[in-house]
Every structure is written in C-alpha cells, then in structure tokens.
Structure 1
C-alpha cells in the first residue's frame, strides 16, 4: 500500500477506535460517576466556592441558556479590553502593537463563538499575554460551552419527563477539568518532544543555509496548539497555522494534531449512547457521520494526489501530487485528510493552504461546513444533527400518517418551527453575505477595499473565496481561502455578525427543543412507533440533511468551484 495512503488509514482507524472508550468516559463524567479523574474534585469544589455556584442545583432550559449567554457576554468585554490595550500589557518581548477596534471586535467574537477566524497573523497580531489570556482561555471556555450544551441535551433525552436539564456551570467546569485539560497536557507533551517551542523569549535570530540572518518568532506555542485542536478551535499560533514547522514540526506531530481535531466530536456521539442508554441510536448517528467523512476523505485524497491536469498538459511530473500550498514533509494525502477532518468539525486549522487545493477539494471543504452536521464542533456538532433528526421525524410522521415522535415525546408545531429556523438560518446568512460582498465588489469596491485591494482572484475562484469566508464564519470553522484580503472594516464587521447569529441562534434553538420535549409526557413505544435507531431512519436523516442543507448551495457552487473544475 502507498505509504501516504497507509498514513491516512492509520489516522482514521486510531480516531474511531479511541473515540469509543473516550465517549464512555465522557458519559461517566457528566453523570457524576466514579472515574480516574476524581482527583480533580478539590479543584472543582474550589472553583464553585469562589464563584458562588451550587453545582447540584438543577436548571430548566431557560435558566441554562441564560447562564450560557451571560458567560459569553462577560468574556466578550474581557477580550475586547485586552486586545486593544495589549501593547501596554506584560509578556510582549517583540513589541507588538494593539489591534484596531474593528479587528479586535472580529477577533474577540470569533474566538468567543469557537470559530477562531483570524484576520491577523498570530505572531505579529498578538502578544504572549493575549495569546494566553484571550486566545487560549477562550479556546477552553468556548469548547466547554458547546460540550455543556450537549450535556444538557443528553440529560433531557435520558429521562422520561423532566423540567430540568442539569446545571450549566457544573457541565462547563467538568468539560474543562476532566476532558479538555488532561487531553491537552498529553498532546502538549508530545508536541514539545517533537520540537514545538514552549517559552517566553522574544524572536530568535538564526542564520539560514544561505548565510542570511533571520528572526524567527517563538513563544508558548506548545501550550496553545493542543487546545486549539482538541477544542475544535483552530486558531493558529503562527500566521500560517499548522503548516508552520514550529507549530507542526513532523509527520508524527501532524498525526497527533489531526487526531486531536476529531477525537472529541467522535467521542461525544458515543457519549450520547452511553449517557442515555441508547447505544443503537448513537451507532446510527455515528454511521451516517462516518460515511460522509470517509466519502470526503476519498474525494480529496484522490484529487490532491493526482495533481493538476493543466500541469500534466505541460509534461511536468507531479509525483507528489498537487503540491502548491502544501508542506513537503507532510505530503498531499496528509494535507487532503486534514482538509476534510478540519471542515467536518468547526476546527478551522490548516496544514496546507485550502486556497491552493483542487476545485473539487474546495467544493468538499465548503460542503462539509455548509452541511455542518458531520461530527462538527465539540458538542455543537451533534446538536446540529439533532435539528435534522427533529425535521426527519416530523416528515416521516407525516409520510406514515402518525403523530411524529422522538424517543417517546411528540414532536409538534413549536419544535418543528424552531428546527426549521435553525436549519434555514445557515444557508441564509452564507448566501446573503456572499451576494452582498459580490455586489459591493462589482459596484462599490472602495467600500470594502484595503490597501492593495481585497480580492486577488476575480472570476470563478474569486467567488469561491468570498463564499468560503462566509461559509467558514457560519459554520464556526475559521479557515479561509487566503487569496481574500479580509482585514477590512467590511469583512471584520460582516463576519463578526455572521459569527454571532450562527453560534447563538442554533444553540438557543436546540436547547429550547430539548427542554420543551423533556417536559412532555413520555409515550411508551408501540407497534406503530417510528424507530429512530435503525438503518432506514439513518438513511432518511441523511436524505433530509442532503436535500435541505447541501442542495441549497449547488447553484452558487455551479458558478464557483464546479465551474472552476470544468475550466481546468
């Protein structure tokens, strides 16, 4: 077998095999059962005592959401203040300046909503202080927020009838201390061994092989990179993210980071099964997600390893595949695998430039984010799938002439309306935003321009770059087609508002659906009950997702990625 393909297969097998026991462990943590990490209890009790929180106090879904939103509002103010004053703060050996208010708004919103879109270069746009106390801090908090929201939904599913869905603060702290922190320490130690820097010295002066003096940025990268991946955050410590040789030095570090991106989203699906004692349902959901993921991997690996046909026409060998924008130490297959892994989640990190991938690879990267239900971010990925389960149940119920039910609870008009709004919001903000930016580019370019312009590739690929930017924002992903000059007033504010709408409206809607269903009377299964843990229903859900989510974007892809593919 080709060694590059072998590396891809090995990484996927490791993800799937290790996700199962991790999911079982996560379910035990949220249930409050005994685990090996109980030594963290004194620290957790101290946190609750200092914050005046009673972790045993149950919350209804409205109280749960209120706590979630208040927490995010507080950290938004915190981040804005630190980013615009970072030049006055300590741990700034390179003398980096402050961010402008519009850039700080975009940065703060982006990291607060677990998107980590970056309209700046990490080593020059931030200081060590803000890397640690804004970026790294937010990457823990926002990941734990999504996990806490899913824990609340799992609790609502696991009981027959209840008015409460757990305690948000308890789930938040447990997610950080028992899951994210231990895994981050393990990954961090591996990265340090592989050569990722961990220190607070300023730029290092080195002599290149050509004999030139060069300044190389360093800093506490090994502390930040693990949670960037494990929390499906994705914000690069360095400007070129995980293609940087200090952020991702070797093929082993690449495997570990790629594994880190998907392991918790995969495990959370299994955790649902263990927590609610509905393993067949979890296996069904996992099967649909895994099928979509593997299909994407197959397409992108094939596209990138076979290279660009235009170069073939020139008689130039492409033994390594389409290597533009890729690192030789990693290869085309590993970059293709990463491009799918990072876009089926809300991670957004890159180990090669997506702007340089083949058009059909770009199509798959965007479709993953536009569908936004294949594993997704930690917690919120399954929650997006949950929305489509509600829609699929409702449609299936109408088809068989029976009141729609999900896990013994009637799905009625109120839940269906919320699910519809959540499902349609995603294509709405992406397509409206793209239409607005293309109109302004054509008729009012000065309104959105930065020095040197903001769109380097007009035509099919230029439309793809704009579509990708809004898609990445709406999916809380954060990666980009970097031919787009995005540090402008227009992009900073437009993307910021898309980030806010696309993060909080779905979470509010999904938790509300779970809370409303939890309060309803449990109806025992009968011979006519629609089974939601079967292969048939899994196929039905996949069809609903594809029709509602994917087909909404085919017209714009016909004018961008697909048109570019046929122009090669």
Structure 2
C-alpha cells in the first residue's frame, strides 16, 4: 500500500462527501415536484409528454397502483427489448451485419437491462448492433435508473407523509427524474468523455494500418453516450466486452476517477434528500456515515489484499502486489477502489477482472453484493435497501428501550417488520438456492473454468451478482448457455421486483400512520450509537447468512493460497 494509493481513496471520499448536499438539494426539488432552472427549456417537453399520454402529474397513487404501473411499464420494456434483439439482423443501424441474438441470450439480456443489472453473457462489440445498443440497451439504462430513484422517492414519502394512502405518481416521478436529472448530467458527461477520447459515432469499423504494416479492424460506435448513463445510472453494461478496462470506454486516469464518482454521486445525494424529506437532515447524514464506514472497511481490506499479493509468487522471487487481471494504466489502488465502488453500488462496471484478485480481495466485492448493495448502493436501490435494514435496526432498538419502535416519527409495527424481513430474505434464499442447485447439476458444473473453492466462487459470484442486480462477472464462468442464461435471468427478475413490492407496501403502510414526536423514551436515530447499530445489524445479518458459502469459496481459496496451493 502506498501514499499515492491512499491519497486517491481519501480524495475520492472527500469529493463525494462534498457533493452530497448539492446533489441532494437537486434531488429534493424533483422529489417535491418543484420548478428548477431547467424547466425553462425542458418544461414544455414534460408538459407535452403528459398531454400526449393523458397523464395527470398531480394525481396521487396508493402503493398498489404505484406498484402495478411500475411492473407493467418494466414488463412492456422487457418485451420490447427482447423483440429488438431477436430482430437485430433485419433492423437498420447494423453496420457490421450482425445476426439476430439467440432466444435464450435475448431473454437473459432483456431481463438484465430491465432489472438494472446489465449482466452480459456476450461480447458487446461482437454481438450487438449500434441500434440494439442505443434502442434496446441504452434506453433501459435511463429508465431502469429512473425507476430506482422513483421508488426511493415513494419510500421517502411513506416516512414523510401523515395519514394518507398516496405515495406519489409513478409517471410524474419517472418523467422528472429522466428529464431534469439523468438526461442533462449525461449530456455533460458525454461531452467530457468525447473530449477525453471516447468514441461517439454511428460508424461500425475503421480499418487502420499498424506499425508493422498489417491491417487491423477497430470497432467503434456510440460509446460515450452509453458510458455516461452506464455509470451515472449504476447500470454497468459495457459497449465493449472489456468494459471499463477498454481504452475506448475509459481512456485516462481522470475518466477512471470521474466514472467512480458518477457511480456513487446520486446514491450519496439521496441520503441527504431522505433527511430533508423527513424534516431532519441529520437522519440522512447518519445513514451516509454508516454507509461510509462499511465502504472504507471494504476498500481497506481489498487494497491490503491486492497490495500484499500472492505468497506463492513471492516464494518464486516475484515481488510486489497482485497485478494479475489489473489494468496496468491505473494500478492496484485504483483497481481495488473501483471494484469496491462498483459492487457497493449496483453498477457492475469493472476496470479489472475480479476473478484474478486474491481470494480475500475478491471476497469483499462479493460480500458487498450479498449485503444487498446497501453501501451507497445503486440509484435508489441502495437507499431503499438500507432503509429496510433501518426498520429492523430500530425494531431491535425498540426492544432494548422497552417500547414500540419509532423511526423518523413513525411507529414501526409488526406489518413493517414482516415486510422488511420478507424483502431482505429474497437475496439469501435466491442466491444460495440457485448456487446450491448449480453446484450439483451437470449443466451448472459445466460452467466454471476452475475446480474446487475457486470454481465454487465463480458460481456463487454469478448468482450473487444477478440477484443483487449488480451485473459484474467474476470471469471464468461460461454463462452463455441455455442453463445459465435462463436461471440467471429468473434470478435477476426476482432480485429486482420481489424486493420492490414489499418495500412499496411498507411505504404505503407508513404513509397512513400518524406522526409520533420523539420523547425521552425514544431511541435516538442520529447519533453514533445508531450508526453503530446500523453497521452491526447489516454485518451480523450478512455474516450469519453468507459466512458458510464464503467459507466454501474465497476463504477456503485463501487458506489454500497461503499453504502454497493454487486453483
């Protein structure tokens, strides 16, 4: 570990914290439906959309109606994307003349991008046409991200409102978030990426002559625009197979830093927005403090493991940290930080291969996802996932002080606790169930490249990434098969929508409750004790649930490594 490495990590955290309030203020304006400076230009577009679609943005919806509209919208988008991919061979915008995508891969990809997972069982540049990238995939990058933020807004209203059944209007939330947040930020980021050397063209291939005199085909496309929303919307799906290790997606150290900030910036802002929505910004800072403690711990562990390197290689006289699978332009510190950022959020973009990390270095990204990516988390998904843990934490705190649990003025009763447990249980049940199945059936065992603990880690990582809607791959697993495409597709759908519906039910239940002022007997939810309780509940639940699987995978792999055995 070096001074430069720690300077990068601490500078990243410092800039991120400085952005929390400004971004949170903008998000709060959208949450309340307030006018922004962009309304001068984009206001007519918003009103035109409502007029064409017959939507009244002022009509409030209960949680059931909000959920039904959200589910139907996403189901229709998934079917549309499936059709685009299957018909790719006969559609325009296909300069390489690529054939239509197969049925099981189209199924997997359509669900993947609908669920904000962006798991890719294919090489983007060799499988998807420009039209498929723009119409089928990039549109999802915007709308799945907007869906996550809209759902966070709905839950915030549940905590903030009193004695009402309404939690907002799904269509108004989606429109405002897309028009006034995602679109303008992505325009600015796209211009920055183009200036940094990222291609933005409808051309498919450029033929060049190498220094040796040979001819080489270089694939191009509308990369910069997809790169912008890929990071900002915590999507992670790369235009190129190498993702953010590809110089056309991530050409410089500055673009690498901006990409990491883009992944976290909306999630960080949402914590401040939550505090503002419930009338106490200290609530938001407490949540962000707990998130940053977990983030810094994970980053430290990963950086230490990768900087320490492999003792087997050290015994052979190869000094230094573990550079296998790293992007040499950025080095160990930037790759370790990127891996924690992308798995603490539901992004999944990578600038290094996690399969090539040391066993413990690869375990931290895996554990981040198993916690439900509540450490900052994806756009919207992180904060509402974290608030589910807050419901359980305040329930435990209520038992300790001997009274009905309360959080931000709302009594947390049996209904909310049961729904929170139901939502949180989705991850371990699906991840461990599908991993166990794939570890014993022939079609599942045909996927891993390695045997033993490392091969098990490859399977465990794939289903963890799918259910957590992350999309990063451990590498080494052959996933483009009917078995894995089908099962991972089902896992992604369950991981996205089987958590959302109970969460919206909690929002509806809380919105109908009266406000209960804090009293001398209330458990404080803004101080250090509360932050420690939140961190403890998350780690205890995650550890108790996933420690056995981690012991069979990366922990066993680490023990083999220090004994001189390699997978």
The bucket for the TM-score relative to the shorter chain is over 0.9
Pairwise CA distance, 1:486: 0.3
CA distance in 2, matches of 1:460, 1:169: 46
Give deviations 1:282-315, integer Å, cap 9, x for gaps.
1110000011001111111222223222111111
Deviations 1:154-206 (A, max 9, x none): 12222232221111111111111111111111111111011110001121122
* TM-superposed deviation, 1:414: 1.6
Is contact 1:109–1:496 with CA below 8 Å preserved after alignment? yes
Note the 1:1-40 alignment, pairs <5 A. 2-39=3-40, 40=42
Output the CA distance in 1 between the equivalents of 2:236 and 2:64.
Answer: 30
Could you tell me which runs of 5 or more consecutive residues in structure 2 were left unpaired when the two chains were aligned: 562-567
Using the alignment, how far apart are the partners of 1:554 and 1:211 within structure 2?
55
Given the alignment, which residue of 187, 195, 200 partners 1:193?
195
Q: Select the residue among 464, 468, 472 that pairs with 2:461.
A: 468
The secondary structure found in structure 1 opposite 2:440 is helix
Secondary structure at the aligned position of 1:439 is classed as: coil
**Alignment partners' CA distance in 2, 1:347 and 1:557:** 22
CA contact (8 A) 2:157 2:511 kept: no
Where 1:205 maps in the other structure, the secondary structure is strand
Change (3 A) 1:6 1:407: closer
Q: Which residue of 1 aligns with 2:565?
A: none
Which TM-score applies when normalising by structure 2?
0.96
- The answer for the alignment partner of 1:274 in structure 2 is 276
Q: Deviations over 1:442-496 (max 9, x none)?
A: xxx2x357xxx52210111101000000000111000011100000111111111
Instruction: Check if 1:424 corresponds to 2:425.
Output: yes
With structure 1 as the length reference, what TM-score do the two structures score?
0.96
Contact 1:386 1:510 in 2 (8 A): no
Change over 3 Å in CA distance of 1:50–1:333 after alignment to 2:
same
**1:480 equivalent among 461, 469, 473:** 473
Match for 1:99 among 90, 98, 101?
101
Please give the residue correspondences for 1:212-251 in structure 2 after superposition, counting only pairs within 5 Å: 212-251=214-253
C-alpha displacement of 1:77: 1.1
Using the alignment, how far apart are the partners of 1:455 and 1:28 within structure 2? 48
For the residue of structure 2 that corresponds to 1:560, the secondary structure is helix
Match of 2:340 in 1: 340
How far 1:549 moved relative to its partner? Answer: 2.1
- The residue that corresponds to 2:366 in the other structure is 366
Unaligned runs of 5+ in 1: none
CA distance in 2, matches of 1:274, 1:135: 34
- Match in the other structure for 1:530: 523
Residue 69 in structure 1 maps to residue 62 in structure 2: no
In the TM superposition, 1:299-378 aligns within 5 A as: 299-318=301-320, 321-372=321-372, 373-378=374-379
* Counterpart in the other structure of 1:131: 133
Residues 517-554 of structure 1 show CA distances to partners (whole Å, capped at 9, x for unaligned) of 11022223222122222221221122111111232111
The alpha-carbon deviation at position 20 of structure 1 amounts to 2.1
SS of the aligned residue for 1:204 comes to: strand
Q: Look up the SS of the partner of 2:12 in the other structure.
A: helix
Could you give the per-residue CA deviations for residues 244-296 of structure 1, whole angstroms, max 9, x where no partner exists? 01111111111111111111111111111123222111111000001100111
* Bigger shift: residues 332-341 or 550-559: 550-559
SS in 1 for 2:271: helix
Residues in 2 aligned to 1:524 and 1:6: alpha-carbon distance in whole angstroms: 43
CA distance in 1, matches of 2:253, 2:401: 52
Conserved? CA contact 1:370–1:550, under 8 Å:
no
Alpha-carbon distance in 1 for matches of 2:380, 2:271: 9
Residue 452 of structure 2 aligns with which residue?
A: 459
Aligned CA RMSD, in angstroms, stands at 1.4
Could you tell me how far apart the structure 1 residues matched to 2:375 and 2:32 are?
25
For 1:486 and 1:530, the matched residues in 2 are separated by: 48
Equivalent-residue separation in structure 2 for 1:454 and 1:559 (angstroms): 18
Contact 1:195 1:249 in 2 (8 A): yes
**Which is further off, 410-419 or 52-61?**
410-419
- C-alpha separation in 2, matches of 1:17 and 1:309: 39
Is the Cα contact below 8 Å between 2:410 and 2:514 reproduced in 1?
A: yes
2: CA distance, partners of 1:167 / 1:459: 50
Give the deviation of 1:149 after TM superposition: 0.6
Correspondent of 1:562 among 543, 555, 558? 555
Query: Residue by residue, what CA displacement relative to the aligned partner does 1:399-450 show, whole Å, maximum 9, x if unpaired?
Result: 322122222222222221111111111111111111101011xxxx2x357x
Residue 482 of structure 2 aligns with which residue?
489
Distance across 2 between alignment mates of 1:209 and 1:458: 41
Q: Taking structure 1 as reference, are residues 369 and 302 closer, same or farther at Cα in structure 2, changes over 3 Å only?
A: same
Contact 1:4 1:331 in 2 (8 A): no
Contact 1:448 1:489 in 2 (8 A): no
The 1:105/1:414 distance shift into structure 2, 3 A limit, reads same
SS at match of 1:509: helix
**Matches of 2:78 and 2:525 in 1, distance apart?**
39
Write the distance in 2 (CA, Å) between the matches of 1:66 and 1:188. Answer: 34
Check the 8 A contact 1:448/1:488 in 2, yes or no: no
Answer whether contact 1:423 1:549 (CA < 8 A) is retained.
no
Deviations 1:66-109 (A, max 9, x none): 11111101101101111101111111001111111111010000
Distance 2:164 2:376 in 1: 27
Compute the displacement of 1:210 (Å). 4.0
Q: Is the 8 A contact 2:160 2:511 kept in 1?
A: no
Distance 2:448 2:58 in 1: 53
Secondary structure, in 3 states, of the residue corresponding to 1:214? strand
Residue 508 of structure 2: which of 515, 528, 543 is its match? 515
How far, CA to CA, are the matches of 1:215 and 1:307 in structure 2?
A: 36
| Cα distance in 2, alignment partners of residues 214 and 78 from structure 1 | 35
**Aligned mates of 1:12, 1:465 — CA distance in 2:** 30
